[in-house]
Chain A
């Protein structure tokens, strides 16, 4: 009896590996291997048109130092490339601002949806619409609404008296990033809202009833009861959101094509890799982006660990 049970367990384990094999092979071949190859390419001088003629050049794509005959020292590589640092700055700026706005609005809307009122289902359905619309379509729709000459936004703002003359929202250097942020906040707040709402719905209602009986002020209830209780959910939502914002691409590509005011790390890296025939250079930039993400995730995990230890 005992041996047959053991056999059964062993057989199940063998079958488990058999069942896992297709997924693991796919993931290894199509994500892990390409990642390794990207990193490898970043140490070569491969071009897009000649993928197999690259040579190992070490860290030259990242940073290299050359002394000219005149004795002048020249630094080269992506780490001294102003276009790259501009993209890094754009990406960080976008990530931080979009995260702040989307988390705040997400919290407010989720708290609204967590109360009982007529039209609650309607609101929940309505906020799903920006989420489901393809980014490209959102970018085009807002591009049309933000159009300098015939756009409804300028028309509305002029009529209300908020602006004096029409603004080329997506083309102006100063307003391009605002436009991108605005559209992204419109599109992604629903995602934050629904994640936060799921956290709110896990809070047992009797906690609120007790606070209500004790006459605790709602603001105090929020900061002392609600926020600590939804913190784990909020934390996960923030991590997902930041990872997504750091690799942002489609919206800037369509809404503000080519604008240096909004070009993100993903956009610059892809442009070098595919459009400018600088395959290895773009690969180096995407490797840096990947390292950046790893750095962020390890910090986030560290924070969550210390939090857990405190409790």
Chain B
């Protein structure tokens, strides 16, 4: 009996340490974001200050607000593009049998394993050639190809799992594939669409390498860039309070998504083996 109680206590301590370790850095970012000036130089384990000045500072900077807008635009259009391309491709790969179908699907999956830096030189040239350098379209294009292979993969698996009968009646009635997709599959696909859409959104919101390479103007920066480039008066005066306030602002939407769509996100993560 004693042994059992001891075991249980040890187990719950382990779980508590895991939870604490996972959330502590974000908690610490939040309490730092409410701290200003000299107070930053005293380590605090519990929140002692509630100073909103860091938030006032970042929201009065046009470039930070613009970076939020930029990230929102880029991520949303990326989601729309990859879902449109993904659903049409998944219909073909999931519902129609043709020679070389599996090979094609595996090739698409293999593309997601390309290291970004291996296509960087060629993509740089392509983006320059089409005069997309330093525009949001450069990012939308590069983020769409990052999320497309995974989107096609998950949607194809999902489409295959749907029974044949649901389509047959529509085919006999003479419905075109486009009608079949929009009227029959779209409602059924909703869970998979939410999953892939969310992961594409998170991917685009968090991406850094392409943004760093393809964007020059401050007004076109995305949020990861905006945070990376916050600097103080000198190298030794890093404005940690402001950086943490900005970090909290760009992370809170993602945490809300996690809280609401936890199951969908985990499902997508497992199916696609993607990482944020």
Closest to A274 in B: B213
Judge if A149 is at the interface, Cβ distance under 8 Å: yes
Question: A17-25, A68-76, A220-228: which lies at the B interface?
Answer: A17-25
A120 CB to nearest B CB, Å = 9
Given contacts A131-B276, A137-B224, contact A51 B113 (CB under 8 A): no
User: What is the CA–CA distance of A27 and B147 in the complex, to the nearest angstrom?
Assistant: 11
Asked if A262 CB lies within 8 Å of chain B CBs, one says no
A191 to B265, CA, bound (A): 11
Asked if A308 is at the interface of the complex by the 8 Å CB criterion, the answer is no
| Interface assignment of B91: CB less than 8 Å from any CB of chain A | yes
| B93 contact set on A, CB distance < 8 A | 16, 20
Q: Are B145 and A37 in contact (CB under 8 A)?
A: no
Q: B residues within 8 A CB of A145?
A: 25, 28
A26 with B148, Cβ < 8 A, contacts A33-B126, A34-B125, A150-B43 known: yes
List 25 A-B pairs, Cβ < 8 Å: A20-B89, A23-B85, A24-B89, A26-B145, A27-B111, A31-B145, A35-B118, A38-B120, A122-B19, A126-B18, A128-B262, A129-B23, A131-B275, A134-B205, A135-B276, A136-B224, A144-B29, A186-B25, A191-B275, A247-B116, A249-B209, A250-B208, A250-B224, A286-B115, A290-B115
Knowing A33-B126, A283-B121, A290-B114, the reply to whether A126 touches B19 (Cβ < 8 A) is yes
* Supplied contacts A17-B92, A152-B45, 11 more A-B pairs, CB within 8 Å: A129-B255, A134-B250, A137-B29, A137-B224, A142-B25, A243-B113, A243-B115, A249-B208, A250-B209, A266-B117, A274-B120
Which residues from A are CB-within-8-Å of B23? 126, 129
- Please determine whether B202 and A132 come into contact, CB atoms closer than 8 angstroms: yes
Number of A-B contacts (CB under 8 A): 270
Asked if residues A37 and B122 are in contact (CB atoms below 8 Å), the reply is yes
Knowing A34-B125, A132-B258 touch, does A240 contact B118 (C-beta < 8 A)?
Answer: no
**How far, in angstroms, from A235 to B171 measured CA to CA in the complex?**
41
Q: Give the distance to chain B from A43, nearest Cβ to Cβ, in Å.
A: 12
> In this complex, what residue of B is CB-closest to A249?
B209
Contact A30 B126 (CB under 8 A): yes
Report Cα–Cα, A282/B125, bound state, in Å.
14
Whether A51 lies near B85 (C-beta < 8 A) is no
- List the B side residues contacting A287 at CB < 8 Å: 118
Q: What is the bound-complex CA distance between A53 and B148, given in angstroms?
A: 33
| Whole-angstrom CA separation of A49 from B178 in the bound complex | 46
Residues of B within 8 A of A151 (CB): 43
Instruction: Find B88's partner among A19, A119, A186 (CB 8 Å cutoff).
Output: A19
Contact among A27, A109, A122 with B145 in the assembled complex (CB-CB below 8 Å): A27
B240 on the A face (CB < 8 A): yes
Q: Tell me, in angstroms, the Cα distance from A128 to B264 when the chains sit together.
A: 12
Q: Is the CB of A286 within 8 A of B251?
A: no
CA distance A253 to B96 in the complex (A): 45
| A236 CB–B CB distance under 8 Å | yes
Q: B6 on the interface (CB 8 Å rule)?
A: no
Instruction: Report chain B residues within 8 Å CB of A195.
Output: 269-270, 273
Which of B25, B43, B212, B258 is in CB contact (< 8 Å) with A138? B25
Residues on the A chain within 8 Å of B128, using CB: 51
Known A17-B92, A35-B122, A137-B224; contact A186-B213, beta-carbon cutoff 8 A: no
Q: What is the interface size of chain A, counting residues whose CB is below 8 A from a CB of the partner?
A: 92
A34 touches B119 (CB 8 A): yes
Question: Could you tell me which B residues sit within 8 Å of A by CB distance?
Answer: 11-12, 14-15, 18-19, 21-23, 25-26, 28-29, 32, 40-43, 45, 84-86, 88-89, 91-93, 96, 98, 104, 108, 111, 113-126, 128, 141-142, 144-145, 148-149, 152, 171, 177, 202, 205-206, 208-209, 212-213, 223-225, 227-228, 240, 243-244, 247, 250-251, 254-255, 257-259, 262, 265-266, 269-270, 273-276
Give A37 to B28 CA distance when docked, in angstroms: 45
Determine whether the beta carbon of A119 is less than 8 Å from that of B15. Answer: yes
Q: Which of B25, B148, B208 has the most CB of A within 10 A?
A: B25
The verdict on A15 contacting B177 (CB below 8 Å), with A38-B119, A195-B273 known, is: yes
* Interfacial chain A residues near B119, Cβ < 8 Å: 31, 34-35, 38
State in angstroms the CA–CA spacing of A266 and B212 once bound together. 13
Q: Assess the A34–B266 pair: CB atoms within 8 A.
A: no
- How many angstroms between the C-alpha atoms of A125 and B260 in the bound complex? 10
Q: What residues on B are CB-neighbors of A36 within 8 Å?
A: 122
**Chain B residues positioned under 8 Å from A163 (CB to CB):** none
> What string of 1s and 0s marks CB contacts (under 8 Å) between A222-265 and chain B?
00000000000000110011011011011001100000000001
Measured in the bound complex, the distance between the Cα atoms of B86 and A171 in whole Å is 44
Q: Given A125, A140, A297, which contacts B113 in the complex, CB threshold below 8 Å?
A: A297
Instruction: Say whether A129 contacts B26, CB under 8 Å.
Output: yes
Q: In the complex, which residue of chain A has the Cβ closest to the Cβ of B20?
A: A126
